[in-house]
Amino acid sequence: SGLRIGVGLSWLAIIAAEMLIGGVGIGFFIWDAWNSSLVSDIILALVYVGIVGFLLDRMVAWVGKRVTRGTSPA
């Protein structure tokens, strides 16, 4: 579960870094939409961020199950 939390936090850090550095990426897209008052684009981008975060979490959980198959929980 620590890896799942770490992946989620790193995904948020990537978005925040893109907002600060600018140029390209979903973080820059959100920041640009915020400055342009494009609420529909902001909502769309946040849904995208949520979906990607959910998929990353599911992927790490799946890998965790495959790696720890046959071990009993402590």
Instruction: pLDDT tens for the chain, 74 residues: list them.
Output: 788 899 999 999 999 999 998 788 999 999 999 999 999 999 999 999 999 999 999 999 999 888 887 776 65
Contacts of 12 (CB under 8 A, 6+ apart): 53
DSSP string, 63-74: HHHHHTTTPPP-
Backbone dihedral region for residue 25 (phi beyond 0: left; psi -120 to 50: alpha; all else: beta): left
DSSP 8-class letter at 24: S
